[in-house]
Amino acid sequence: MPAQDPCRDDHGTAESCPGCGATTGVLRTTGTAPTIRTWSCTTYGLNWMISAVNPHLRPAHLADLAAAEDIGRLRWALRQVITLADDAPTLTDRQLRDRLLTLVSDAR
């Protein structure tokens, strides 16, 4: 089993646990590959790691991020259309047209 040392980052400050936010009880695991940094939190019982990105997987990962952004924009537009449909009975034709034009311009 790799040794564990109290964790300090390059600037001398303690690494905090992403689960509980505590810095006490966070230990950096040593004896792992140089491209993998691992920690454990004895307080929260959480282990986590950071590793180098595999450049061969990067294009697929970026495509997933782009798809997630597209889905986010589509969800936003759908919420706006639903809100407009709910408000439509109380709007004049001109107000409805203006809101539709605003929605189209904002979606671009």
Domain ranges (residues) in the chain: 4-51, 58-107
Lowest mean pLDDT across 35-44, 57-66, 79-88, 95-104: 57-66
Q: Is residue 3 scored above 60 in pLDDT?
A: no
pLDDT on residue 98: 92
Q: Is the pLDDT of residue 102 over 50?
A: yes
Contact 97, 105 (CB under 8 A): no
**Region class of 12: left (phi > 0), else alpha (psi between -120 and 50), else beta:** left
Tell me which of 29-33, 41-45, 69-73, 89-93 is least confident: 29-33
φ/ψ (deg, to 5) at 40: -145, 150
HSE-up of residue 21 (Cα within 13 Å, Cβ side) = 0
Nearest to 9 by CA among 50, 42, 45, 46: 50
Report helix, strand or coil for 76: helix
Going by pLDDT thresholds of 50, 70 and 90, the confidence category of residue 6 is very low
This prediction's pTM? 0.40
Mean pLDDT, residues 15-22 taken together: 76
